[in-house]
């Protein structure tokens, strides 16, 4: 049984259903396919809060996919908060190369274009290309994939969209100008999350994500970091965030590269008495940029 399948009571495998932010053809769907397999079914959600809600409901899905950071824009801080408040566990991660393409209905030429629709971030990522075409009107939308779907549905002959290759394939559009993003080294990290009772333990886990709070006494954070380092664990990310409702107190999200679960469990045991709160988000296989 593959990562993108679940076994029914009758013993027949059926595609997994996972919640994503955005619509079919979005980068979230690309990430879901790369991790769970091409046959994974996606449940479009308007926002990340809804992703968490649907992913947590066993009657609606088998989990979810959520972006957590981008190599250019940095961490998506609200998503850390949503993850902490949920009972979901991280089962994997995927790094997706974000490539933006200008797409049109079949037969439309560059000279026919009068408007370009896409998400504000996608338009900004392609601004150098777009500024070469001064006559084009730029229209901001809620989603890149939804923009592609819009021009396909309306059979527009004067409107283009900026979206992913998957969106072009799903909506039968032509990529009239591929790879128009200014910065070519643009990656987004996506987390794959499932309910703890459904998640299968990753035996070859070499990465772990945790959240912890200290008692904020002098040197408390340094003691936690020392406990991590003294066990030979490389912490490749430490993200601070204000603790909601506190007076400028901070909690910390950490990603660690581990050799095995035994090593990680030892680190957690040493962190426990040094922290006011400690939550393990998951242990999983480290993703790569390829």
* 243-268 b/e (C-beta count within 10 Å ≥ 16 → b): eeeeeeeebbbbbbebeebeebeebb
Q: Residue ranges of the domains in the chain? A: 15-97+186-194, 101-177, 207-283
Helix %, strand %, coil % for the chain, to 5?
30, 35, 40
> What does the pLDDT read at residue 6?
57
Answer yes or no: are the C-beta atoms of 133 and 147 closer than 8 Å: no
Tell me which architecture the domain covering 15-97+186-194 has in CATH: 3-Layer(aba) Sandwich (3.40)
207-283 CATH? 3.30.70.260
Q: Check: pTM over 0.95? Answer yes or no.
A: no
Q: What is the pLDDT along the chain (290 residues), one digit of tens a residue?
A: 345 555 444 444 578 999 999 999 999 999 999 999 999 999 999 999 999 999 999 999 999 999 999 998 899 999 999 999 999 999 999 999 999 999 999 999 999 999 999 999 999 999 999 999 999 999 999 999 999 999 999 999 999 999 999 999 999 999 999 999 999 999 999 999 999 998 988 889 999 999 999 988 899 999 999 999 999 999 999 999 988 888 888 899 999 999 999 999 999 999 999 999 999 999 999 998 87
CATH 3.40.640.10 correct for 101-177: no
User: Is 101-177 in the same CATH topology as 15-97+186-194?
Assistant: yes
């Amino acid at each position: 049984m593959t990562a993108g399948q679940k076994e029914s009571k009758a013993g027949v495998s059926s595609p997994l259903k996972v919640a994503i932010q955005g619509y079919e053809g979005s980068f979230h769907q690309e990430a879901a396919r790369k991790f769970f397999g091409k046959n994974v079914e996606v449940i479009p959600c308007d926002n990340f809060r809804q992703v968490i809600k649907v992913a947590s409901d066993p009657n609606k899905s088998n989990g979810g996919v959520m972006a957590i950071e981008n190599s250019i824009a940095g961490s998506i801080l609200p998503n850390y908060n949503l993850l902490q408040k949920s009972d979901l566990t991280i089962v994997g991660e995927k790094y997706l190369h974000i490539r933006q393409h200008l797409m049109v209905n079949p037969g439309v030429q560059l000279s026919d274009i009068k408007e370009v629709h896409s998400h504000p971030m996608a338009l900004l990522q392609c601004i150098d290309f777009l500024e070469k075409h001064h006559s084009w009107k730029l229209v901001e939308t809620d989603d890149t994939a939804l923009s592609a779907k819009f021009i396909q549905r309306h059979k527009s002959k004067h409107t283009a969209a900026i979206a992913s290759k998957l969106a072009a394939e799903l909506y039968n559009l032509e990529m009239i100008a591929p790879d128009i993003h200014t910065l070519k080294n643009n990656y987004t990290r996506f987390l794959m999350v499932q309910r703890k009772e459904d998640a299968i333990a990753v035996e070859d886990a070499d990465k772990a994500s945790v959240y912890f709070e200290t008692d904020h006494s002098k040197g408390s954070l340094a003691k936690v970091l020392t406990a991590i380092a003294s066990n030979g664990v490389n912490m490749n990310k430490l993200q601070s965030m204000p603790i909601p409702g506190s007076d400028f107190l901070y909690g910390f999200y950490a990603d660690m590269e581990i050799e095995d679960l035994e090593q990680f469990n030892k680190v957690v045991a040493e962190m426990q008495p040094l922290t006011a709160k400690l939550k393990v988000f998951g242990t999983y296989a480290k993703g790569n940029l390829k």
